[in-house]
A and B are shown apart, each in its own frame.
Chain A
Amino acid sequence: MVTAPSPRFRPIPWQEWRQRYAPQVIPPVVGIVGFLLVWQVLSVTGITRLPAPSALLTDENTRNLLLNPFFDRGGLDKGLFWQTMASLTRVVKGYLGAAVVGISLGILVGVNPIVNQALDPLFQFLRMIAPLAWVPITLIALPNVQTAAIFVIFITAVWPILINTAVGVQQIPQDYKNVAMVLQISPRKYFFKILLPAALPYIFTGLRIAIGLAWLAIIAAEIVMSGVVGIGFFIWDAYQQNYVSEVILAVIYIGAVGLILDRLVAWAQRLIVPQQ
């Protein structure tokens, strides 16, 4: 006796799979392959001096770096995984500091109009200063290069977090405040049950902008600071020695890590911000 296979466990036939996913998969693949193709042609024909994408595999040093990201020969001579991790560690430290300071200061500014009036012009001024412009100041002000690098991340990431948090607190609807007033809710309860959930979407907007800026800034900061392990300095070093295909490989790492960081914060946002 033969029993018919349960339709629920039937594997999706190729035809159906293609209909369902092709519209989402094919266009990006075509886009990326097309981009690489144009680049390859431009390089091979000599229109640009930039190595072709195929150089990642044909250049021996670059191929070694690509296939072996985990080596560590001490000093600055480390695989790209370790270079990236060193930069990431700085970003995480500076970013967490910026989150703590930005959110608490943002709430203070948002709740208290007088503090807001006192500090807002200063914030608006400071936030316009580019990360790189902070580098000389921090190098003079702070004891060593490592701390200075983290501070540059901090000062870059803190403004969007601070300003968005402040706006989030300021926009809390009067209705919610009225409810709190009628019920005479304690300040602690008001903070956790009303203020924080109401401002949370804004706080996360700030956090999301800040993570991108922080990652942009660390690369710039490491290039200027020199002599530290990190993907930014690695690029600079490779450029100085004219290892252009290594620069390209490092740029791919930077893009990928930036994308992952952004997705991570977006994921945390979906997880934490109340669904409305």
Chain B
Amino acid sequence: MNELTKAYWPYVKVLIIPYLFFAFVLFYPIGYYLDTPGGITEVESIISVDYNQDKEISGTISSTYIVSITRPTFFQFMIGQFSDYNNANILTGSYADYTNEEIAQISYLDKETSVNAAVILAYQEAQIDNPEIFIDTYEKVMVFGKANYMSFYDDIAFGDEFLYAIGDQDVIIDDFTLISTYTTEKDSYEFFFKNDKGVEYSRILTKDPEAGKFGLTLKLYYLVNKENTYPNYSEKNSNIGGPSGGLLQTLAIYNMLVEEDITGGKKIAGTGTINYDGTVGYIGGTEQKIITAYINKVDVFFIPYHDENYYYDNYMEALRACEKHGIDPTGWLVPVRTFADSLSYLADPEGYWEGFVL
């Protein structure tokens, strides 16, 4: 060791400053986000249904993921600029206030609730022709957002269940939509929650003097009661978060439940959240998802479409992305408004375009 240090010391001395600079560039995070193309994941590899085990599925149904780096390092940001496929921008909105860990928690919550929504919808659709299939659900109100001024910020986690709050005149508020109605007389009220370990706890939340709000966002979810659901399904752990796989998860689960194979031997992918009423919701990172689909040579790519006059409509964004990167969208890029639209397309691709009004 000593001999080497002596022999190379002049070089070490010269390189120490560039070395430290490079280390800074490699590890210092900046307040941007970087979206880059990712890949496609077969839904079958994540969710399986114990039904129709002998059925042969000739094609594949995959959700599409992109790589979204929140607060990249200088180095990631710089190398991200070398490709036209990547998109970097300043971190804004509530995400700018959240830590990377909190964003990961939100992403996990989104994915979990999205899978539940997909299962509910797919089972309900399959139930129409097959009464053997049934599903039971329950409601759960969960913490979905936290403003940085919220009291006990670190104690209340994303995904914790809201149980009730004690409102004016000691009224018990168990309907979260009535919180603002029954919390007008004082600044502080007691809220009761249950964490992911099943432990109930309460915290006295105080309204922010400027915003006049508690800074807590709650959302109602419908979750599957697995004990009263047939057939059983299981979900494997996945590294991919977010709700954007909802539509494709619904399609894949539906295909596992029905007798016919809706894939028709095609490599089907797409994106879009799924709502309980069957409508498909907008997603982010459209450009990167289109590139991912193009790189992976998919036969069909479903994308949410609701309003051609809305600049950020996903289908309109997708068409702009195709134009920008010289990709021909004909024949594979399919706009859908609902889950039923995607089924209609797969049943009759040509007839779908005839009836579709852009």
Q: Do A and B come from one complex?
A: no
**B residues at A contact (CB < 8 Å):** none
